[in-house]
Amino acid sequence: MSGHFEERSGVVPCGTPWGQWYQTLEEVFIEVQVPPGTRAQDIQCGLQSRHVALAVGGREILKGKLFDSTIADEGTWTLEDRKMVRIVLTKTKRDAANCWTSLLESEYAADPWVQDQMQRKLTLERFQKE
């Protein structure tokens, strides 16, 4: 994925050991690289309003308390090309002030530059909506 594509789509990703996460005003996206050939039945994914848990083939990849609350029954996950799991969470608070600075409470924080870019993107998104 080239940087130009991400700039155009306005996505500011925060890299993690397992993939990346990014956000819009309304949603948080988590993209987790999994072993090629992974099947949906290999995946255990638990989504609650403040917690996320993802295991593949019984191996825990991601687990913890989310940075902020999400709408539990709107959380979804999909397996793409049998090599990536995409989790989509809907934020409870949907405004530019609610820029998540990390995915979990104490883990996968965006560095200051990325945080700044994320905040700018959300502010821009809000202006485009108004």
* CA nearest neighbour of 85 among 13, 26, 36, 27: 36
- pLDDT on residue 4: 41
Cα 104 to Cα 39: distance, rounded to the nearest angstrom: 26
In a domain, 26, yes or no: yes
Domain count, the chain: 1
In a domain, 6, yes or no: no
In a domain, 68, yes or no: yes
H/E stretch holding 129: helix 112-129
In a domain, 3, yes or no: no
In a domain, 24, yes or no: yes
Mean of all residue pLDDT scores within the chain: 91
In a domain, 106, yes or no: yes
Backbone phi, psi, residue 27, to 5°: -135, 160
pTM: 0.90
- pLDDT on residue 24: 93
pLDDT tens profile 96-128? 788 999 999 999 999 999 999 999 999 998 888
- CATH assignment of the domain containing 94: 2.60.40.790
Average of pLDDT values for 8-12? 71
